[in-house]
Structure 1
Amino acid sequence: MAATGSTLVDAVSTPAGIRVPGAGRRLGDVIDETTTVATPVWARAAGWAALSAAGAGLGWVVHQLPDWILRLPFAPMRGPLRLASRLPEPEATIGAVLLGTLAGLALAFLADRESLTVRMSRTEVTLTRPGSTRTVPRADVAVAYRERDQLVLLGRTGRELAREPSHLASGRLASLFGAAWSERDPYADAYRRWVPGLPGIPAEAEAVFVARQVALDRGDGDDARELRGELARLGFVVRDARKRQHFRVT
């Protein structure tokens, strides 16, 4: 079958014997026009409004807790609770609600950072979220799939081209990527768990794995993300499960 002057095949086999659906296609043969898939503006605005309102409500509840707890016959820390309950009104209520609202807005900001926009042009796939933009040549993308709450793009050799947080519906992404879309990671069975001193891993990669495990253990997502890129440069694709690193070699 041909389209836009190129021959298409349904799948190719990698050197490891893994058949990758659509990996023989050029993504440019599937979709010609510029297309964008994004979280609707109204949904993002609704998220900000809902989380700020929830924060305000939680602030009000926390402000009422001292009075409620003091009604219990065996309430602990009665002295500090009495002081909290005697704060002047309406300033105390306003302050608690304001603090709760700010906490809700902070949570909304963190959630909004994962609002991904995928834009497909004739030559590029651009992944954009607040504060971050990544562009991948369209012809390099062989497979796209979702791994939990992330969108992953792979090249023809299985190399990871991009991995971005995403809550976009799988159906919309499947329509966008066409034949390159896969419902699962075609290399899922090729991963091994990393442990220190595992044979066959070069010393340079081992050092990066160790540093990345430290980052995962302390919850430093930015550092773990940067070190993932370093491992990709060394020929390793990494995915995490409960702060455990699993890898495959490209």
Structure 2
Amino acid sequence: MFALETLSKRYDTGVLALDGVNAEIAPGEFVALLGPSGCGKSTLLRLLAGLEAPSAGRVAWDGHTGAPAPGEIGFVFQDATLLPWASAAENVYLPLKLRHVARREAAPKIAAALAQVGLSEFAGTRPKGLSGGMRMRVSIARALVSEPILLLMDEPFAALDEFTRHKLQDDLLALWARTGKTIVFVTHSIYEAAYLANRILVMSPRPGRVAADLQARLPQGPHRRASGEYVALVERITACFREIMPT
């Protein structure tokens, strides 16, 4: 789907966030970008989305350099960032509205996106009437409404309680299995990366580089988190961090 070729990013402040990142991501993969705070994970996600430009190297999107076409990428931020005065449906409609898609044409897409995250009954509810987990579901639906082929997620569950986070992790796995979308998911949780992704890119402390590229093959179903494969993967990732973190 896309390749990162010796990608680097230095900010105007002089901070080198990323240095020489190389990776390829294939269609249908669920990739976790895992690393300590400040290692450039979110910066890398913004470069993938075309929200920022690299200082060196390039992102080759589907064989060409440059920003993807409108609607090809859905982005879920750390906060739900919903319009407080708008209903869930109106918040989901926003990306289509900005592309001047008529409300009548957008209606079935909005309904389908809300259905995918289990919020059909709350289409008319404003954010203040929704729980934190439900607000994040609306944010995910908003990213899905354009029917993107790539979904970028920047620590979307970090601020949620553990019970809600586990539920949304399971829902995201089900959505990935159902749709086959390519997902790149930023997290600083070893346990979350191991549970969700089928491939984990472990990033070094700043400046961020890909320190390890791990494949994950965990069983499906309710016992995934208790499986021996999951425990072994957590141990492999932990061992990687022991090697790359400063003493």
The structure number with the bigger radius of gyration is 1
TM-score interval, smaller chain? under 0.3
Under a length normalisation based on structure 1, what TM-score does the superposition of the two structures give?
0.24
Bigger relative contact order (CA 8 A; separation at least 6): 2
